[in-house]
Amino acid sequence: MLKRLALLAISGELRCLVCRNESIDESNADLARDMRLLLRERLVAGDSDAEAVAYLVDRFGEYVLLRPKMTGENIALYAAGPVMLLVGFGIALAFVRRRRATEPAPAALSPEEEARLKDILER
């Protein structure tokens, strides 16, 4: 019974590689079934929960974890998106500011244009 509870707890934390965002506990894919069987075999063989998960991570890669460990590489990957967004915003802002600074001022009206404008406004 304890092994069954451990199996359910662990299988809820492992990703089905076919279904992507489903755990192997929820998935009906053949690979998920095979992973559940492999996990059960490891637990019956006497592996601890951590050893069984480590075995699956070694075999399938860290992608198999629904919640990957927060290591330096993973933190860099999570931070890369917002950092790139901020860099892009900064570049766009600099481009707009530079363009406004180099934009020529509107030309002044000639005396004839000023007289015509005055005529139009007085009507």
Give pLDDT, residue 1: 56
Contact 22, 12 (CB under 8 A): no
Q: What is 2-64's CATH topology?
A: Helicase, Ruva Protein; domain 3 (1.10.8)
Give pLDDT, residue 109: 83
Alpha-carbon span 11 to 8, nearest angstrom: 5
Contact 68, 74 (CB under 8 A): yes
Domain ranges of the chain: 2-64, 72-122
Alpha-carbon span 106 to 78, nearest angstrom: 47
Task: Kindly report, residue by residue over 38-52, the tens digit of the pLDDT.
Answer: 998 988 888 888 898
Which residue numbers in the chain have pLDDT < 70? Answer: 1-3
pTM assigned to the model: 0.58
